[in-house]
Structure 1
Amino acid sequence: MKASVIMSTYNSEEWLEKVIWGFSVQTELNFEIIIADDGSKPKTKELLDTLRPQISMPLIHVWQEDNGFQKSQILNKAIVASSTDYLIFTDGDCIPRKDFIETHLHYRERGYFLSGGYFMLPMNISQAITKNDILHQNCFDVKWLVNRGLKKSFKNTKLSASGGWAKFLNFITPTKATWNGHNASGWKDDLVAINGFNQEMQYGGQDRELGERLFNKGLKSKQIRYSAIVVHLDHARGYVNEATWKKNFAIRENTRKNKVIKTPIGIDSN
């Protein structure tokens, strides 16, 4: 297989199913899907057992007991469980366009990681998207989305741009090419070398911190936010709190100031 898709989830079966259908119709099908499950109840496993015979790629479920927001830890376990040398990271609420895997593989290069973005959908459209809309790619059609209430905006260009226009927008965007957990990829040996995600960090910046350590290791990044497209389904964020943000900010400050490459609490802690 050419790549492993590592996808985080937590008790979100409706969204997760939509995302898996998105991966089932990729133009490049030679990859495995690893569900990094941060303690979901049995319904998630039941869903995966139902979907597994219906898709062509391996669907692997890596689960840990619910101990609060421990995404970094479950992502590290998923890295260990992966069987390929190239890892693509996303979340279980981000439906990929059919060329998502092909795009990441096209732009991959030794010495780099890839930085993609997302297109946020409102809750009413997130709920309205059906399996058929995913299989036929309606949810990436700006006209279809506008007809269902999406506001007209220049941001919609992210969905309609292609070819040279998408490359040009990647080049001129002021957004930095950081490691974004919903849409990023890199070589497995680079991630293992920095000991994966920092397990001291809960919600807020743990993805960026990993990317900062990749930079400290000497890697560069490529911007593909207008080429590798996912639509982000809306949801509540009850796990956000100020104390965690402050703790994570201090860790990131230390990573940048002291050029930390390998986190002390990461993959090898598992």
Structure 2
Amino acid sequence: MPEISVILSTYNAEAWLEKVLWGYNCQSFRDFEIVIADDGSTSETKDLIHRFKKTTSLQLIHIWQEDDGFQKSKILNKAILACNAEYIVMSDGDCIPRLDFLDVHAKYKQRGYFLSGGYFKLPMKISKKIKEKHINSGKCFSVKWLKKHGLKSSFKNNKLNAKGLKSELLNTVTPTKMTWNGHNSSGWKNDILTVNGFDERMQYGGQDRELGERLFNYGIKSKQIRYSAVCIHLDHKRGYKTEESITKNKAIRKYTKDSKTVWTSYGINKERTVLTA
């Protein structure tokens, strides 16, 4: 049994997923498996995973479901059940982790808490320039290298080079709330199962936050690791983003907050009734 299971969501984005898997192949922390939550990709994704199984030591589990539109919540619930570790790190197939990414999650994990991280968003031009060699060398996390390829100066650049006391300080003073963020958060599998995973009624727009809100209702607290666990987000279009799904998700989240709901009847186990804190 590995110490950590990493869940990566993906859908027909093999070029980005390949870069992300290179990032996990470079991790200084090695006691982990990767569960790929595939929301209906074509065979190219399966072929990519097979190649990484043959050419690297990564432990990869491919969980796939038929393409039925944006059903990320559903495939994530299947991936949760497939995890062999007691502790789960969730991210996306478009987020390349810095080499100490899993080290940070392993260091700060604690019973009664989940960890809340963020990402550093790159424009499409730079996303395309990143190659395997830039990931292996860590250059793609270098502000100097990124600026050379068009990155603008910003306070947000501190996410890339903050370590030690600097990252601890920035984690403390950041105004960003400690929410469950699907691109970079982690928690105990048993806690996630206790609140019944993701609400499968929810499509794009805050379904990860709603899971975190039910964890809060259950009594789980959160730690901020925004400036400690670093990943870079590769740019992509969001054709699945609709006003309808966002409006529906906001209504579900409002109900979760107002009623202090712990359990969703639309999650992994659909036989139990709703519990409230």
Q: For residue 228 of structure 2, what is the aligned residue in structure 1? A: 227
In the aligned structure 2, how far is the partner of 1:29 from the partner of 1:193? Answer: 28
- TM-score of the pair, normalised by structure 2: 0.96
Q: Alignment partner of 1:167: what SS?
A: helix
Taking only the aligned residue pairs, the percentage that are identical comes to 59
Q: Equivalences for 1:175-186 in 2 at 5 Å? A: 175-186=176-187
**Is contact 1:30–1:57 with CA below 8 Å preserved after alignment?**
no
In the aligned structure 2, how far is the partner of 1:79 from the partner of 1:237? Answer: 24
Stretches of 4+ aligned residues off by more than 6 angstroms: none
Q: Alignment partner of 2:269: what SS?
A: helix
**Is contact 2:52–2:58 with CA below 8 Å preserved after alignment?**
no
Q: For residue 127 of structure 1, what is the aligned residue in structure 2? A: 128
Q: Equivalences for 1:104-115 in 2 at 5 Å? A: 104-115=105-116
Q: Alignment partner of 2:8: what SS?
A: strand
Residues 20-68 of structure 1: CA deviation (Å, up to 9, x unaligned): 0000010011100000000001110011111112221211100000010
**Is contact 2:97–2:230 with CA below 8 Å preserved after alignment?**
yes
In the aligned structure 2, how far is the partner of 1:62 from the partner of 1:76? Answer: 10
Residue 52 of structure 1 aligns to which amino acid in structure 2? K
Q: For residue 55 of structure 1, what is the aligned residue in structure 2? A: 56
RMSD: 0.9
Q: For residue 189 of structure 1, what is the aligned residue in structure 2? A: 190
Residues 154-191 of structure 1: CA deviation (Å, up to 9, x unaligned): 11011011100100000000000100000000000000
In the aligned structure 1, how far is the partner of 2:255 from the partner of 2:55? Answer: 46
Shift of 1:117: 0.3
Shift of 1:240: 0.7
Residues 193-213 of structure 1: CA deviation (Å, up to 9, x unaligned): 000000010000100000000
In the aligned structure 2, how far is the partner of 1:28 from the partner of 1:246? Answer: 40
Q: Number of paired residues?
A: 270
Residue 46 of structure 2 aligns to which amino acid in structure 1? K
Residue 243 of structure 2 aligns to which amino acid in structure 1? E
Q: Equivalences for 1:179-218 in 2 at 5 Å? A: 179-218=180-219
In the aligned structure 1, how far is the partner of 2:120 from the partner of 2:128? Answer: 15
In the aligned structure 2, how far is the partner of 1:187 from the partner of 1:262? Answer: 16
- TM-score of the pair, normalised by structure 1: 0.99
Q: For residue 45 of structure 1, what is the aligned residue in structure 2? A: 46
Gaps of 5+ in 2: 272-277
**Is contact 2:10–2:92 with CA below 8 Å preserved after alignment?**
yes
Q: Alignment partner of 2:135: what SS?
A: helix
Q: For residue 258 of structure 2, what is the aligned residue in structure 1? A: 257
